[in-house]
Chain A
Amino acid sequence: MIRKPKIIVLRTAGTNCDGEMAFAFEKSGGEVDLVHVNQLLRGEVHLQDYHILAIPGGFTYGDDISSGRILANELNVKLGQQIGSFIADGKLMIGVCNGFQVMIKAGFLPGGLASASTPVSQTATLTFNDSGKFEDRWVHLKVEGKSVWTQGLDNNILYLPVAHAEGKFVTIDQDVLEWLKTNGQVAFRYCSSSGGEPHYPDNPNGSVENIAGITDKTGRILGLMPHPERHFLSLQHPSWTRQKHKGTFGDGARIFQNGVDYINNNLLSKTTVSV
């Protein structure tokens, strides 16, 4: 029997990009369950039964107090141990937009930096856009680092949409920023359409050093503000009618495929051998 990578797309009050996230993973060969956080808390669903934890975009709990804050604490306090062992097992996590805000505020990203013994704490944040407003627009991204999620994308410029009011990435101090760069934890930076230095609106929110997405030290946990699941299909491109040769898939598809492939190659193949 062929086992498929099992993906949990986590929902709660105010999650709203779960459908397209589930679609992206399913089309990439994953088996997806949309799971409400209450189901995990009640023990009806177990995180350990899955390979990838995906936290989609939305306005969890209304983004009350600050974006993603309440779900971040809920995960940290109530499911922290489960998530800890999930990560220790070599599994994958991805957070997009509000999911990224949750992961940053829960301290899953950038993760224990200064020393491994320090308990996870928040060392960066995603704050209000410099424009002072919610904006939906498409951005160009340069890919960096060695994350499993960005395999094969090194020299590409990706074109993805952002849609947020609180997406400006800042670190608590300069050291954290230097650490991120030294460890290769910067995954995506905003750039101009030709790959050059971006200005607003190329960098849509004023993020420091144009950072749009980061990973943990292992590269297995990825968070980003732009929405790869909204450019999974080529027809989602804002000017697909101008393109002569369009395939089926858009720029974001490779990210989901990488996640599924990684599980197939590293976690499922081993299981199959042992069976």
Chain B
Amino acid sequence: MIWRVEVKHKPGVFDPHGGSIRKDIVDSGLSGITRVDVVDVYHIDGALSQQEIGNVSRRLLADPVTQEYAIVQAEGFKEPPAASAIHLIEIAHHPGVMDPVEASTLKGIQDLGFKNVSAVRTAKKYCFHGNVSGRAIENIVGKILCNKLIQHVVKHPVVWKSPAPKADGPVNVVVVDLLKASEKQLKGISQQGQLFLNLNEMKTIQAHFRKMGRNPTDCELETLAQTWSEHCYHKTFRGTIRYRSNNNGKAQSRLIRNLLKSTIMKATNEINKPWCVSVFHDNAGIVKFDKDHHVCFKVETHNHPSALEPFGGANTGIGGVLRDILGTGLGAKPICCTDVFCFAPPDLPQSKLPAGTLHPKRIMKGVVSGVRDYGNKMGIPTINGAILFDEQFVGNPLVYCGSVGLIPNNQVNKRVSAGDLIVVAGGKTGRDGIHGATFSSGELTDESEVVSSGAVQIGDPIQEKKVLDVLLKARDKGLYSAITDCGAGGLSSAVGEMGKELGARVQLDKVPLKYAGLSYTEIWISESQERMVFSVPSKNREAFLKVFAAESVEAMVIGEFRKTGRLELFDGDTQVCDVDMDFLHDGIPQITKQAVWAKPKLTNPRVPVPRDLNEKLVDVLSHYNVCSKEWVIRQYDHEVQGASVIKPLVGVGCDGPSDASVIAPKLGSVQGLAISNGINFRYGMIDPHWMAASCIDEAIRQIVAVGGDIERIAILDNFCWGNPDKPDRLGSLVRAAEACYQIAVGYHVPFISGKDSLYNEYTQGRKSRAIPGTILISAMGIIDDVTKTVTMDFKQAGNLIYCIGKTSDELGGSIYWDSYGLLGSSVPRVDPKLGRKIYATMFKAAQKGLVLSAHDCSEGGIAVALAEMAFSGGLGVTVHLDRVALGNKSISREDTILFSESNTRLLVEVEPRHQRSFEKLFQGLPIAPIGRVEETPEFIVYGLKNQVCVNTYIEDLKEAWQKPLRW
């Protein structure tokens, strides 16, 4: 017997789910829907009497205070005709696709003592009120409610059948005819199989199998495609590049062998910090924290999945980076997340939306919800981030997910030995996420939504939380010798990587499945979430499995590591893969990519001197890139684990934008760390060199602003670029990477980990739009005493305001010029020699307690920083622009001084009694006392001729800053 239980809110009770769907409908440009009600539908299959199903509904499914329920027999159920102006749509998961709620409901029913229930299937019924066409409803279903990969619209009456059991019998091994294939056929095989292998690679594989005298199986070809994908192998950064540049008529041509080793890693080696424990080696970079612990930091991207399915993409992006942390060393405990996004503007007109893309507001809401859902449920605080907007990200948003982990310092080394068992633990394997690794190594097209929909993954954060809990227990008992996450490429990458030095034999039919019917290849490359792979010494087998079973986490022995040098896979008795490990990992053919960088022909605009600077200040503060992100920040739990010391929102009203966030992860200890991000794609449109340099400076500067020590800062690079097979894209990438080397060495700040996501282009027909090459620099500073950290809000009227650093005429790529729709060419530069002195001195000043508040000057320059400090502290200011320390050239315009985005500048609040000691500390460095904190809530700026040029109220500035994203 199958019962159908419908649960809905009682009349008059607010239904937030329906409310938010209605908002999404409005956002998507459809009008006419006045209300949406959501009904939870449960189909319960089991031997339950009418009374018993009533009991289950009353005690489990419906809240007695706010909800009501109705029970009917599911078999033969047909929806009665709806009233006029009401549309009913029911959406359910495909048979075999597991909604986590179903497992929880089954458990809940069994807990009530009803053991004879075999299955629960959930669905959602939506009641749309309003006079709209059936076509409009279809549109809503397709664009907002239903992910076709995993869900469908239910047609009543439903024919109930259980998923077909896997047919017994011999395994049908698929062999790909490669030996005789022509070049054209090789290309075809790669394309049809979504392998994203180029012709050269296909030919290398063909030659390898010709030598063996046999054709590869589909599984062997897939394994090579996964391992050799740009996503897993980083062909561009590790390959050879012919680089030609033309900078102001100076032409040069060089051959770069391994861009990563010759720039990013080279800097780290030269800087050679003693506290770097493991860099560019494990899942995440590891540095020393205190006498017992290290910390590790990793930032990943999940751009393409987020473009197609924003919630799922961001959700699994967080899940993925957290597994990176879980898989670092012998397992680290995630202690915070930091996330950075780039979207097209949320008010982009529908007419500017390319075919096959989602509206940026919908992408943004989906991404934020995905982060909120995974991070909050896992109990990992999302402590800060950044959101940038530009039309160039339409169709290809950027979603960077970062996480930091804490690891005992004796748990850093993993070592797989022959005879160790291969254990997969956590979630079951399904068909979700097939071809994620290869998909992210190609461009998005207007058909990606259809062709690559299988690459969308489904997250279950509670499953991952369970894995986290037991994994740390097993780690502390020393029950396994190595661990890695199942990420891109699934088991194929995880096992292939762990068994690289030895060899591995896997029994694919042992892998726990979500549903029957997966082929051996699907099992092998599926990117189902929440899975970790362990290497377990056979003597620990029982103890290991017991720890996992104790908290109801599935763990299964699927094979063993063997000293054979081969990757051998079996489905039952049938061998389906036998690949040489050396060929798999080192057989990829080296090619030389062409890179060209030519300085773009840009000039500075002639912007008339504005009559009203008040108005311009308001414009800049309400620019999407500058304005408050409080709507987003509050949806993230940024305080779970109790470690937060400097929160993302600070100040008298807890709404000011903090620079770096600080946490003290070991409760009761003052040892802490600060996390920040530097990102500015607009500078890169002028010169990627100064973009990279500025982002490094900004990331460091934010940590210095909260009282961090530049000697203890480590950074991460994350390159999101267009198609590297196009020489102009690759040329700008090379230029940015080379700047990373120069500036990191100049600042003595090492890179400890990095990531690249290339092929960020959206192709529609013949037209290809690349995103602007965007580097994200994430920084982590170790802080020995968090009680000495500083926030950015003004503290006390009468205190002095210092501007530290030199202000130059550097409005190129600024928010100020962007507010006129202009770019310019005078991009901000970085002088690490001077910067290093300034930052070291700032640390000394903070340690001495001389700094009451400090804020970094970045987008929007001095004007924005000053306004933010004032309204966050609820205090006014008076400043004089003629006192600001300038660069080599004089500046004649107030707007330039106010809005120039010169690097290495901070505003600092100092008590008058400390004036002398503060100035003495900074002797020989460019600092200037530019004004005073005032009791009256006015914002007053005196210009170069000592005239009042800005005169407004801090509340008005705050309103301008808060309004744009106050949704």
Using a CB–CB cutoff of 8 Å, the interface residues on chain A facing chain B are 11, 13-17, 19-20, 23, 27, 36, 38-39, 57-59, 61-62, 64-66, 69-70, 73-74, 77-78, 105, 121-125, 127-130, 132-138, 161, 163, 165, 170-172, 227, 229-230, 232-233, 235-236, 238-239, 241-242
* Chain B residues within 8 Å of A16, by CB: 377-379, 465, 640-641
Q: Does B637 contact A (CB under 8 A)?
A: yes
**Which positions 648-670 of chain B face chain A at CB distance < 8 Å?**
649-652, 654, 664, 667-668, 670
In the complex, residue of chain A having the shortest beta-carbon distance to the beta carbon of B15? A128
Q: Which of A11, A123, A239 contacts B651 (CB 8 A)?
A: A239
B552 near A238 (CB under 8 angstroms)? no
* Residue from B112, B637, B795 in contact with A73 in the complex, judged by beta carbons closer than 8 Å: B112
Out of B63, B466, B635, B786, which one reaches A127, CB within 8 Å?
Answer: B63
Residues of the B chain whose Cβ atoms lie less than 8 Å from the Cβ of A78: 111
Complex: A16 Cα to B652 Cα, angstroms: 29
Structural contact, B652 and A241, CB atoms closer than 8 A: no
B439 in the interface, Cβ–Cβ < 8 Å?
no
Which A-chain residue is minimally distant from B706 (CB atoms)?
A241
Cross-chain pair count, CB within 8 angstroms: 178
What residues of chain B lie closer than 8 Å to A136, measured between beta carbons? 633-639
Interface residues of B, Cβ cutoff 8 Å to A: 13-16, 19-20, 59-61, 63-66, 100-101, 104-105, 107-108, 111-113, 372, 376-379, 460-462, 465-466, 469, 550-552, 633-642, 644-647, 649-652, 654, 664, 667-668, 670, 786-787, 789-791, 793, 795, 853
Who on chain B is nearest to A163 by CB? Answer: B637
User: Contacts A65-B101, A125-B66, A170-B66; is A14 near B14 (CB within 8 Å)?
Assistant: no
Kindly list 7 other residue pairs between chains A and B, CB separation below 8 angstroms, not including A19-B667, A36-B551, A122-B65.
A38-B550, A61-B104, A65-B60, A105-B63, A128-B16, A137-B634, A233-B668
Closest 3 CB pairs of A and B: A16-B379, A20-B642, A64-B104
Of the candidates B100, B642, B652, the one whose C-beta lies within 8 Å of that of A236 is: B642
A81 to chain B, nearest CB (A): 14
Q: How far is the CA of A229 from the CA of B20 in the complex (A)?
A: 32
The answer on a CB contact under 8 Å between A134 and B372 is: yes
Which residue on A lies nearest to B852, using beta carbons?
Answer: A241
Assess the A62–B639 pair: CB atoms within 8 A.
no
Say whether A36 contacts B550, CB under 8 Å.
yes
For chain A, what secondary structure do more than half of its interface residues adopt (helix, strand, loop), or is it mixed? mixed
Q: A235 to B646, alpha carbons, bound, how many Å?
A: 9
A16 to B377, CA, bound (A): 8
Q: With contacts A65-B105, A77-B111, A127-B13 known, is A38 near B551, CB below 8 A?
A: yes
What's the nearest-Cβ distance from chain A to residue B904, in Å?
24
Residue of A nearest to B550 (CB): A38
Given A133-B16, A242-B793, answer yes or no on A124-B65 (Cβ-Cβ < 8 Å). yes
Residues of A within 8 A of B61 (CB): 65
Assess the A64–B787 pair: CB atoms within 8 A: no
Say yes or no: A232 contacts B642, CB within 8 Å. yes
Chain B nearest Cβ from A77, distance in angstroms: 6
Contact A17 to B640, CB < 8 A, known contacts A65-B105, A239-B651: yes
Distance (Å) between the CB of B545 and the closest chain A CB?
15
Please indicate the chain B residues that have their CB under 8 angstroms from the CB of A235 in the complex: 645, 664, 670, 786-787
- Which of B15, B59, B65, B462 sits near A14, CB closer than 8 Å? B462
Considering the chains assembled together, what is the distance between the CA atoms of A38 and B111 in angstroms?
A: 12
B65 pairs with A163, CB closer than 8 A: no
Interfacial chain A residues near B108, Cβ < 8 Å = 61, 65, 69-70, 73-74
A30 to B105, alpha carbons, bound, how many Å? 36
Given A13-B552, A136-B634, A62–B101 Cβ distance below 8 Å?
yes
Q: Which residues of A contact B645 (CB under 8 A)?
A: 235-236
The contact of B379 among A58, A232, A236, A241, by CB within 8 Å, is A58
Q: Which of A122, A161, A229 has the most CB of B within 10 A?
A: A161
Can you list 24 contacts pairing A with B, beta carbon distance less than 8 Å? A14-B466, A16-B378, A20-B642, A23-B668, A61-B107, A62-B460, A64-B100, A65-B108, A70-B60, A77-B111, A78-B111, A125-B63, A132-B14, A134-B635, A163-B376, A163-B640, A170-B65, A170-B66, A172-B64, A229-B642, A235-B670, A238-B650, A239-B651, A242-B791
